[in-house]
Structure formats: structure tokens, C-alpha cells
Amino acid sequence: MELNPFDTEQIGIKTLEKSLMKSKSERSLKIGLPKETSNDERRISLTPGGVSILIANGHEVFIEKNAGADAHFSNQEYADAGAEIAYSAEELFKQSEMIVKVAPPTKMELSWMQSNQILVSALHLGNLSHEFLQTLIQKGVCAIGYEFIKSEDGEFPIVRMMHEITGSMAVQIAAHYLENSSNGQGIMLGGISGIPPATVAILGAGITGEYAARTALGYGAQVFVMDNNLALLRRLENALDRRIITATANHQYLSTALESADVVIGAAMTEGERAPCWVTDPMVQSMKIGSVVVDTVIDQGGCISTSRATTHSNPVFTKYDVVHYCVPNIPSNVARTATYALNNVIVPFLVEIGDAGGIQDCLWNNTALRNGTYVYKKHLTKKGLAEQFDMPFRDVEMLIASRI
């Protein structure tokens, strides 16, 4: 079949299918995909193409009715790929030994989880509770968090993909809220001949910050990027051919930048930890009337003091005459693109778990999934979480090695 060069979704999934289609795995897994019910979440973790790969490897996939509808994947597409459609979320949880989802489980979903079940999902560190972790521990669930999955080269593959989307989308969102119809200043990001462009201040020079900077430059904006990591700032300056202005994120530079900024993109974060709060209320108060703040790390607590989590159905609020957009799951608004991105990272991990004959042997051999594990054998295995919630923890490698 000849592929249209513009059909990027098909090219990506066909490449993945070609590399992963094989004979049966060592062990067949029962994988459940429930419909997301929280925070306007529209993504799903696997595409029909991804399901077909798992079926070809001897696994069973159960998907709740209409779970892919918001990403424009139909029940029929999943059924044609070999999945079994489940008409009850509770029944799906009972049938599955592994639950793969995007948002963390809700209280109801937690109540359906069973002993020795595997959970693969995001964790949303900013909203995490002691009760959530305690429930997973008591039930003996093996929990793997998207935020913690880190490969041997130090890359966070799922986080990186979502951050690329988030950074690009943040600027697109800010451009919209600068318009009069959204109670913004009524200015364009890029300006036109004889009229200077808008100023975009990006807090954080990581992946989200980089893609925000690339998109803002594409619009024609003047771009400032601030961080306390000089190596990241140098890398970004070189990558973008010195078309951005960089500065350390100290109080003086932050205050000055926010006074002149039309848009502030909050992207300051450390992987697997709560976001540092760099911007104070007085700094926001000093911003122009009708300027826009997009806090992309609100799911990790936010890096701007005036931020509070919003939703896709009610995405903005105004404080000190500044429009704040603080939706935790920005990629959900481009659910189809984000689902393809998730699928391309997750499917090889699921195939590897089957090939290893189960989660224990896979965790021993797979650095990324081992790093991603935060609850295992009724123990918390992340020191940062243990310190945050004053809970005991055990090193996951010790638990695996001891064969407890």
C-alpha cells in the first residue's frame, strides 16, 4: 500500500507495528483500558494499531465502551484490532491483570483494583494524597507512574512527549487569550510591519520551555527564557541559534521580565518532584492588564504563586487583571495526537513485560520500568514520595532481588 507522505499518524504507527509484530510472548497478559472520567481527560493510552500489536503478541485487551471516542477512535476500530469491548468499568477491572490509563485512578477505580494487579498511569504529583498511596500499598498493587519512567540515558520518554505537546500548545493557548474576545490585551504575538511583537517570558529551559520557545519564535514573538541551570540555558541558546534572550531566574530578573511580559509560560520543574514556586503575588501584580499566564506545571503544584488548577471546561480565571490558564492536562485538548504519542512509548513496554514472563523479571531487566515503579510488593519505592508523606519506603531493586 502506498502511503500519503502527509498521513503522519499512519507512518508512525506502521513503523511501530513493523518493529513489534512477532510471535507469541512468553506470557499472555490481560490488559484493561478503562474510559477516563476525570478532569476532562480525553486521551487514551493505546490506539487500535497499538492494540493490534499486543493481540499479535498473544495478549488479551479489554477496552471500556467509548473509551477512545474523545480521541476519535471508535469501538469498531478497537474491535477490529482484536480488543474485547467491556460495557462496565467495574467488570473491566475484574477481568484485567493490568490497568493502563492516562489519569490516576479515581476513588471508585481504586476500590475496584485487586491484589497483585499492575497499574500503569500518570501520578499527578501536585494532587497526590497519602490515602491514594496507602490504598495501593494495602491492596498489593504494582504501580508504575508515567512521571517516573526514566531510561538508562536519563530520558523520561512519556514525560518528554507530553512536554513537547504542552510547550507548543501553551503558546497557542496564550495567543488566543491575548485576543479581545478572551478579555486579553488585544494584541498579536508576532506583531506586523512597523509594530513590535509581543514579549513571551518562559520560566524553565527544559523540554516544555524549549518547545514553547520554538513555537513562540515561530509566531514571531520576542522570547525570554529563564532558568537557574546555566547548562540548559546554553544548550537552548545554541539549539535556537541565539534567537532567544536568556537570564538566570533570580528575583531581580524575574521581576523585570514579568513587568514587560505579555505572556508568561510557567515551565519550571524537576522531574519526579513538586514544581518550585518562582513567581510571587507582587510579581504577577506588576504585570500588564490583560497579559496571560499559562502555568504548565500546575499538575506538579505550579511554579507561579497565583496559579490554581482549572479544567478544560472552565480553563481560565483572572487575578490582578492577569488571565491565568492552569489546566493540568493540556495535551488532552489534542487527544488524538497525544494518544499516538503515548501509544508509541507504552506498547513496547507492554510487549517487553510479556516477553519477560511477568512484571518481576521485567522490572529486573528494564531500567525504565524499574525507575517508574513507585509501589511494589506492598512497599512505597520512591524516597521522594516517602519523605513528602512521611511514609516508610524500600528500594525497588532490593525488593526484586529478595524475591519477597
> Which residues are catalytic, by number?
124, 299
Q: With contact defined as beta carbons under 8 Å apart, do 65 and 75 qualify?
A: yes
Compute the distance between CA of residue 17 and CA of residue 40 in angstroms, rounded to an integer. Answer: 30
The three-class DSSP label of residue 235 is helix
Cα separation, 19 vs 11, in Å, equals 13
Virtual CA dihedral for 130, 131, 133, 138, nearest 10 degrees?
Answer: 130
The beta strands (E) that lie in 286-363 are given as 292-295, 316-319, 322-325
Please report, as a single letter, which amino acid is at residue 396: V
Q: Which residues pair with 31 in a beta bridge?
A: 61, 98
Beta-carbon contacts of residue 336 (< 8 Å; ≥ 6 apart): 9, 71, 72, 73
Concatenating the DSSP letter of every residue in 144-168 gives EETTT---TTS--HHHHHHHHHHHH
Distances (CA, A) of 126 to 20, 21, 145, 273, 346: 35, 38, 14, 9, 23
Is residue 200 a contact partner of residue 225, using CB atoms and an 8 Å limit?
no
Q: Name the 3-class secondary structure at 226.
A: strand
